[in-house]
Amino acid sequence: MSTFELPKTYDFSTTEQRIYAWWESQGYFKPSNDPAKPDFDPSIKPFVISIPPPNVTGELHLGHVAFISTEDLMIRYQRMRGVPALWVPGTDHAGIATQLQVEKLLAKQGIKREDLGRDEFERRTWEWKHKYGGQITQQIRRIGASCDWERERFTLDEGLSKAVREAFVRLYEKGLIYRGPRMVNWSPGLKTAVSDLEVEYSQEPGKLYYFKYMLADGSGEFIPVATTRPETILGDTAVAVHPEDERYQKYVGRMVTVPILGREIPVIADDYVDRAFGTGALKITPGHDPNDYAIGERHNLPLISMLDTTAHVNENGGAYAGMDRFEARKKLWADMQAAGLVIKEDAYTLNVPRSQRGGEIIEPMVSTQWFVRIAPLAKAAEAVIESGEIKIVPERFTKTFYNWLENIQDWCISRQLWWGHRIPVWYCQDCKETIVSRTDPTVCPKCGGSHLEQETDVLDTWFSSGLWPFSTLGWPEETPDYRYFYPTSVLETGYDIIFFWVLRMIMEGLEFTGQVPFHTVYLHGLIRDEHGQKMSKTKGNVIDPLPIMDEMGTDALRFTVLVGATPGNDMSLSTKKVEANAHFANKLWNAGRFVIGALENAPAAPVNAPDWTLADSWVWARLQTVIRDVDRLFTNYQYGEAGRQIYDFFWGDFADWYVEAAKLQLSEGGDRAFYTASSLVRVLDASLRLLHPFTPFVTEELWGLLKRAAQEKGAAYVPANGDENGWEAALIIAQYPLPTPVEDWEAAKTADFALLQEVVRAIRNLRTEKRVPPSRKIPAVIAAGDRLSVLETQRGAFALLAGIDPAAFILAASLNEIPANAVAIAVLGMEIYLPLEGLVDVEAERIRLQKEMDDVTTQIERLNTLLGSSFAERAPAQVVERERQKLITFQDTLARLRGQIESYQ
RNA sequence: GGGCGAUUAGCUCAGUUGGUUAGAGCAUCCGCUUUACACGCGGGAGGUCACAGGUUCGAGUCCUGUAUCGCCCACCA
pLDDT at A538: 67
pLDDT tens sequence across A296-350: 988 999 998 999 998 999 898 888 889 999 999 999 999 999 989 899 998 888 8
- A889: amino acid identity, one letter: T
Query: Which residue's CA is nearest to the C1' of nucleotide B5?
Result: A569
Question: For residue A229, which of A149, A294, A284 has the smallest C-alpha distance?
Answer: A284
Which region holds residue A147: left if phi is over 0, alpha if psi is between -120 and 50, else beta?
A: beta
Compute the distance between CA of residue A361 and CA of residue A185 in angstroms, rounded to an integer.
10
First and final C-alpha spacing in chain A? 62
Question: For residue A390, which of A489, A245, A499, A467 has the smallest C-alpha distance?
Answer: A489
- Which stretch, A149-158, A203-212, A402-411, A814-823, has highest mean pLDDT? A149-158
Could you tell me whether strands A414-415 and A458-459 are parallel, antiparallel, or unpaired per DSSP bridges?
antiparallel
Using pLDDT thresholds of 50, 70 and 90, give the confidence band for residue A2.
very low
pLDDT at A727: 66
Beta strand spans in A22-68 (E): 47-50
- Neighbour count for residue A358 (Cβ, 10 Å): 17
pLDDT at A4: 47
Question: For residue A828, which of A749, A767, A762 has the smallest C-alpha distance?
Answer: A762
Q: Which of A131-145, A447-461, A638-652, A818-832 is predicted least confidently?
A: A818-832
Distance A14 CA to B15 C1' (A): 37
Distance A655 CA to B35 C1' (A): 16
A90 forms beta bridges with A153
pLDDT of A839 strictly over 80: no
- Neighbour count for residue A501 (Cβ, 10 Å): 21
Q: Report the pLDDT averaged over residues A277-303.
A: 90
pLDDT at A178: 93
pLDDT tens sequence across A558-599: 999 998 878 888 888 888 889 999 999 999 999 999 999 999
Q: Report the pLDDT averaged over residues A653-668.
A: 92
Distance A63 CA to B8 C1' (A): 27
- Which bases of strand B sit closer than 7 A to a protein CB? 2-6, 11-16, 19-21, 24-26, 30-34, 36-44, 56-58, 71-77
pLDDT at A507: 95
Q: Which of A247-261, A523-537, A779-793 is predicted least confidently?
A: A523-537
Q: Is A472 helix (H, G, I), strand (E, B) or coil?
A: coil
Compute the distance between CA of residue A359 and CA of residue A378 in angstroms, rounded to an integer.
30
Using pLDDT thresholds of 50, 70 and 90, give the confidence band for residue A535.
confident
Q: Report the pLDDT averaged over residues A237-248.
A: 89
pLDDT tens sequence across A427-442: 999 888 899 999 998 8
pLDDT at A866: 81
- Nucleotide whose C1' lies closest to the alpha carbon of residue A585: B39
- Neighbour count for residue A14 (Cβ, 10 Å): 10
Distance A470 CA to B55 C1' (A): 49
Compute the distance between CA of residue A214 and CA of residue A337 in angstroms, rounded to an integer.
14
Return the HEC string of A68-116.
HHHHHHHHHHHHHCCCCEEEECEEECCHHHHHHHHHHHHHHCCCCHHHH
| CB-CB contact of A832 with A810 (8 Å) | no
Q: Is A229 helix (H, G, I), strand (E, B) or coil?
A: coil
- Nucleotide whose C1' lies closest to the alpha carbon of residue A572: B12
Using pLDDT thresholds of 50, 70 and 90, give the confidence band for residue A176.
very high
Q: Is A392 helix (H, G, I), strand (E, B) or coil?
A: strand
Q: Report the pLDDT averaged over residues A682-711.
A: 94
Compute the distance between CA of residue A565 and CA of residue A523 in angstroms, rounded to an integer.
11
- Nucleotide whose C1' lies closest to the alpha carbon of residue A655: B36
- Neighbour count for residue A114 (Cβ, 10 Å): 10
pLDDT tens sequence across A846-868: 888 888 888 888 888 888 888 87
Question: For residue A521, which of A44, A46, A47, A49 has the smallest C-alpha distance?
Answer: A49
Distance A856 CA to B27 C1' (A): 32
Q: Report the pLDDT averaged over residues A793-816.
A: 89
Query: Which residue's CA is nearest to the C1' of nucleotide B26?
Result: A576
The larger pLDDT score, comparing residue A133 to residue A661, is at A661
pLDDT of A527 strictly over 90: no
- Nucleotide whose C1' lies closest to the alpha carbon of residue A757: B42
Query: Which residue's CA is nearest to the C1' of nucleotide B73?
Result: A404
Q: Which of A133-137, A480-484, A859-863 is predicted least confidently?
A: A859-863
**Which runs of consecutive H residues, i.e. helices, occur in A174-314?**
290-299
pLDDT tens sequence across A52-82: 999 888 888 888 999 999 999 999 999 999 9
- Nucleotide whose C1' lies closest to the alpha carbon of residue A201: B75
Distance A763 CA to B31 C1' (A): 15
Using pLDDT thresholds of 50, 70 and 90, give the confidence band for residue A3.
very low
Eight-class DSSP state of A544: P
Q: Dump the DSSP string for A661-724.
A: HHHHHHHT-HHHHHHHHHHHHHHHHHHHHHHTTTSHHHHHHHHHHHHHHHHHHT-S--S----T
Distance A460 CA to B1 C1' (A): 31
Q: Dump the DSSP string for A595-608.
A: HHHHHHHS-S---S
Chain centroid to CA A703: 28
Eight-class DSSP state of A312: B
b/e per residue, A17-50, with b = 16+ CB within 10 A? eebbeebbeeebbbbbbbbeeeeeeeeeebbbbb
| CB-CB contact of A815 with A783 (8 Å) | yes
Query: Percent of chain A at pLDDT above 70?
Result: 98
Q: Report the pLDDT averaged over residues A776-802.
A: 89
Chain centroid to CA A596: 36
- Neighbour count for residue A868 (Cβ, 10 Å): 9
What ipTM was reported for this prediction? 0.94
Q: Which of A240-254, A467-481, A510-524 is predicted least confidently?
A: A240-254
Question: For residue A30, which of A44, A18, A46 has the smallest C-alpha distance?
Answer: A46
Distance A854 CA to B23 C1' (A): 25
Distance A639 CA to B33 C1' (A): 39
**Which runs of consecutive H residues, i.e. helices, occur in A692-781?**
696-713, 744-769
Distance A92 CA to B68 C1' (A): 41
Eight-class DSSP state of A444: -
Compute the distance between CA of residue A154 and CA of residue A91 in angstroms, rounded to an integer.
5
pLDDT of A1 strictly over 60: no
Query: Which residue's CA is nearest to the C1' of nucleotide B14?
Result: A641
- Nucleotide whose C1' lies closest to the alpha carbon of residue A667: B35
The larger pLDDT score, comparing residue A364 to residue A841, is at A364
pLDDT of A698 strictly over 80: yes
- Nucleotide whose C1' lies closest to the alpha carbon of residue A202: B75
pLDDT at A476: 94
pLDDT of A143 strictly over 80: yes
Compute the distance between CA of residue A442 and CA of residue A777 in angstroms, rounded to an integer.
95
Distance A567 CA to B57 C1' (A): 34
A330-A336-A337 Cα angle (round to 5):
90
Query: Percent of chain A at pLDDT above 90?
Result: 47
- Provide φ and ψ at A312, rounded to 5°: -100, 150
Eight-class DSSP state of A152: -
Using pLDDT thresholds of 50, 70 and 90, give the confidence band for residue A726.
low
Query: Which residue's CA is nearest to the C1' of nucleotide B58?
Result: A871
| CB-CB contact of A201 with A351 (8 Å) | yes
- Nucleotide whose C1' lies closest to the alpha carbon of residue A601: B35
Query: Which residue's CA is nearest to the C1' of nucleotide B18?
Result: A875
Q: Is A60 helix (H, G, I), strand (E, B) or coil?
A: coil
| CB-CB contact of A731 with A689 (8 Å) | yes
Using pLDDT thresholds of 50, 70 and 90, give the confidence band for residue A725.
low
